[in-house]
Structure 1
Amino acid sequence: MYKKYKNKNISILNYFSVLLCTVICISCSKKEYSYFPLNSGLKWHYNVSLTTRDGLERQKYILHNIGTDELNGETVFLRKSLDGKVLYYSISDDGIYYLGSLDSRAISSKFYADKRLVIPKPFTIDTKWEQITYTKLLKKTGPPQRTEYKIIAEVPLELKIESLEDTVIVPAGKFNKCMRIKMTGSAYKEAGNYVGLTLVNVVQTNWYSPGVGLVKMERLETTQSDALDKGTLSIELVNFESG
């Protein structure tokens, strides 16, 4: 049976927060949670490459584990991003969950709940679960549009652990015995005059290294329309600071 979880991605960097799920060892097996470390002091530096019909955009992204707190009586683990968002995670009997976020730079900080499973427990090859995602890479400006044109489609995803033995090479180095999680899904979307009804496909692959966490992610969003055919997102680890 599949598990179902809803995932409303608010921004491209929110996609990122889930992919970067990785290491906790509190009343848990080190092996099970080393793929998503949450202990305080860890820091990740990433290169982000975003390609849309407008071209290639490069960004830097940093995540920093900043300790624990309480949310609704539950111990939660906090991870702060470069843009000021504080991301909340929890550990339960069935896995590690992303709970939501708040903007620490806002005058009135509000917690935005968005619970979703990051890595299940226990996990084996072919473990599957389900989530909902929203496209963010299908966009363009310029003719025939006068302003930015986007296709934001709700797409159900099937997530599957495909391997625990991958070797991944990124700017931070070579990582062995990585967990590979692949996400695939599609949905029809009425996208307006220039595109009309089109099938939207999403394919995303995350690689997690034991003791480090997310080392690489690739995401591809496509449609059947030549007017707005695809967008890609690539994230690679540049440096990992263990404190």
Structure 2
Amino acid sequence: MRYIPVLGLFVLALQSCSNQSLDSSSYFPLQEGLQWDYLVTTSVGDSIRHSDFSIRMGEQEPINSRPHAVRITSDGTRYYIAENSGGIYRTAKRTLTESKPAIDNSPHWVLKYPLRNGTQWSNPTYPFVLRRVYPYEERLTRGMNLKMTFQIMGDDETVVVPAGRFDNCIRVQGEANLTLYADARSGYEEILINTTEWYAPGVGLVKLLREEPLSNDVFAGGEVVYELRSLRR
């Protein structure tokens, strides 16, 4: 492991999953000051778009009188994270337009313990890229709460992303069913939404693949890929 100066900053060149300066036992580090930078590739039909996304760890904040780690995304959303014997979970979130955190009705699990093959949990989710394209164009993310079931499917995988090669990663697979009504002619169509996440020890999320396959005259689907570019301290 070594530090490489990029644009005046020291970026951690992540060539493996072990680093003594990080918490090498955690698949979801929460130390204040860490920042993950991702390359995001969105594909819908013949359109492919690249963008940047980042997450940084801010100062701890209390939720219900209990200190929480705070993950702040590049769009300004703040996620409040806690950990107990059951795993790592989100308690609340706050967007830029909200004056105070919105408390989750139940824990929104990030990773559930034990971190081994077969461990399962579920969370609400929504479509990332699905959209109506006829007779008007509209994203289908609002008001479409789905239940996605997650399961740890691998605990010794290798992932290669722009930040480097990561060994000993766990792979989490999520599945949710969505039924869409197009129109009287096309009727209903059922699709399977898949999410695959890879977590590296001491690093956290290194890759996420979201697949929403659908292509007809009314709706268009696609996929989104998040790949770690760098982890900054």
Taking structure 1 as the reference length, what is the TM-score of the superposition? 0.77
2:61 matches 1:72 = no
Q: Tell me if structure 2 keeps the 8 A contact 1:50–1:56.
A: yes
Residues 194 and 210 in structure 2, CA contact (< 8 A), matched pair in contact too: yes
The whole-number CA distance in structure 1 between the counterparts of 2:46 and 2:103 is 32
**Equivalent residue for 1:148, pick from 116, 124, 137:** 137
Distance change >3 Å, CA 136–CA 193, structure 1 → 2: farther
Does structure 1 conserve the Cα–Cα contact (< 8 Å) formed by 2:132 and 2:218?
A: no
Q: In the alignment, does 2:173 pair up with 1:182?
A: yes
CA contact (8 A) 2:130 2:139 kept: yes
Corresponding residue of 2:102: 112
* Partner residue in 1 for 2:90: 98
Alignment of 1:161-180 (within 5 A): 161-180=152-171
Q: Does 1:220 align with 2:200?
A: no
1:124-165 deviation line (CA, Å, top 9, x unaligned):
211112223211311155xx43x4234454433221101111
Superimposed CA distance per residue, residues 58-110 of structure 1 (whole angstroms, 9 cap, x where no aligned partner)? 2101111012111111111001111111111111221100123213x44x523
Structure 2: which amino acid aligns with 1:80?
A: I
4+ aligned runs moved over 6 Å, structure 1: none
State the Cα distance separating 1:193 from its structure 2 match.
Answer: 5.5
Identity level (%) = 28
Q: Which runs of 5+ in 2 are unaligned?
A: 1-22
Cα distance 1:179–1:92, how it changes in 2: closer, same or farther (>3 A)?
Answer: same
Say whether 1:160 aligns with 2:151. Answer: yes
1:128 equivalent to 2:108? Answer no
Task: Give, as a single letter, the amino acid of the residue that structure 2 aligns with 1:65.
Answer: M
Does the 8 Å contact 1:53/1:139 carry over to 2?
no
Distance 2:215 2:44 in 1: 15
Q: Tell me how far apart the structure 2 counterparts of residues 54 and 72 of structure 1 sit (CA, whole Å).
A: 47
Q: CA deviation at 1:226?
A: 5.3
Specify the structure having the higher radius of gyration (Cα).
Answer: 2
Structure 1 range deviating more: 188-197 or 166-175: 188-197
2:32 to 36, 40, 51: 40
- How many residue pairs get aligned? The number is 207
Cα pair 1:49 1:57 within 8 Å, conserved:
yes
| Greater share of residues in helix | 1
Larger strand proportion of the pair? 2
Normalised to the residue count of structure 2, the TM-score between the two structures is 0.80
User: For the residues of structure 1 that align with 2:103 and 2:46, how far apart are their CA atoms?
Assistant: 32
